[in-house]
A and B are shown apart, each in its own frame.
Chain A
């Protein structure tokens, strides 16, 4: 599958408090409303101006902080195609796979705000059509490929009635 969209650049250490701020704690049972505030504390324009399919492109340790699964869920709900980062925090990474959000580790330093990207999920490369540069991303661990291919852990469970990760 090839995903296409524009890059939205963020820095290092974008936390789950940036993505799903604590002051909207009461919206955690209302994800469409919460999604209107996605990444608000990192870039207040992002939620209103991003278009479906756009990519979040960040530096190191994206998603550090709390275990709130709401963070990757609202990124997905807002319509982002994938998150591309130098590295991810552990719980965020696992939650993303569970909710079916592609999270890709690669050298993002050459990608600029607004660059047009093509992400080839199966081929394992990101093509920056604005610069012509192609970058390979780290393959996901096989267990995560399986969960992502099933559409997340809930769909995986519905399909097999149990863990089937072997």
Chain B
């Protein structure tokens, strides 16, 4: 029978065809923890007397949410991750290396893999045609120790992408628009499968941005087929051997199909305090902004920094608007340095930080004050997200964020292009 990408990947792991709704116990290829969820996972393994990694080379512990550590409790949590890695041979991704999802796509996830991560944006690796999903600490702990997990085979919502982006409109705008249309629970328990002519044309960076935010519509994962673009990306990471092509079958069964014509889109923001609370930038324009944050697993890649650089080069941030820029990983950071982007950002008045989650989750490095407004390129604007429930977060593309930093109020990037 014809299968969707998710069904195909799960079937190849359990050795038979699968259908939505079925519960399967399956092998896990990659398992990941981060410094917020990892310590609890390791405590659970101790409780279970299972302090081991079934597949240490593909078990990865990331120190990224609080990197470098801003306080002793977190430093101690980091010690527990380092110790587990040393004892089991699992891979440790230290404070200099970057955000887990960016590191996973650069070095660990491959087409056809099943990846589980104790972080909700683990769906990012779906852009490489992996069945990649977020779970809690205990589920991932068991996956690490046994090499297996249980899953419900999800139904698939097909998102057909057509047309092309107008200048100033980006993958982020498209994804915010989609979530605004279907709602923050529009794909609960489902897999999103991105297809259509525009999906095939998209760069990997654009695909990562879309897959990253699948969970913001409630989805379990968000997948793209593995094609030549995937192959080129993996080769550029020195991982040509990890490529295999993977497509959904013609005639696969979808629970729903949703079409988007990108040509009709304008720049979009998600207004506080939910991701599906979308407005066009022209509706939101003029709102005074205290801080702009460009980075994260959604939009902290080199392509994003180039877009921000295009707006910021030769300009200055507005005197009343702080600007923080955080590359998603060490390799992004290095590349940005080589291209002169870091210099341009500092000249524009930005605070450029080392790679990591940075200000995104409100732990350190950019916590907002009472009543302050932030425009950020991350994936979530929930109340309290950036460390203060009295603050207001708008989500936007790197272009909109950079334009906003220059103007000091929510601004249309097309004014600066």
Contact = CB atoms under 8 A, between A and B. Distances in A.
A61 interface: yes
A49 interface: no
Nearest to B45: A154
B354 interface: no
B142 A165 contact: no
Nearest to A88: B188
A68 B37 contact: yes
Nearest to A143: B23
Please classify the interface of chain B as helix (H, G, I), strand (E, B), loop, or mixed, using the class held by over half of its residues: loop
B218 A28 contact: no
Contacts of B66: 25-26
A23 B185 contact: no
B384 A17 contact: yes
A163 B73 contact: no
Nearest to A73: B40
A90 B40 contact: no
A98 B150 CA distance: 12
Contact of A26 (B71, B185, B274): B71
A64 B188 CA distance: 10
Interface residues of A, number: 43
B86 interface: no
A15 B361 contact: no
Contacts of B362: 21-23, 25
Interface residues of B, number: 55
Interface in B132-157: 134-139, 142, 146, 148, 150, 152
B152 A61 contact: no
A127 interface: no
B387 A67 contact: no
A13 interface: yes
A152 B385 CA distance: 29
Contacts of A149: none
Given A25-B362, A154-B44, A94 B120 contact: no
A22 B385 contact: yes
B23 A157 contact: no
A143 B151 CA distance: 10
B36 interface: yes
A141 B152 contact: yes
B336 interface: no
Contacts of A28: 36-37, 39-40, 77
Contacts of A30: 73
Nearest to B276: A13
A89 B188 contact: yes
Given A66-B119, A90-B188, A157-B142, 8 more contacts: A26-B74, A28-B36, A41-B383, A69-B40, A69-B118, A90-B220, A153-B139, A163-B150
5 contacts: A17-B380, A22-B361, A153-B142, A157-B48, A163-B148
Interface of A: 13, 15, 17-18, 21-23, 25-30, 40-41, 60-61, 64-70, 73, 87, 89-91, 94-95, 98-99, 141, 143, 152-154, 157-158, 162-163, 165
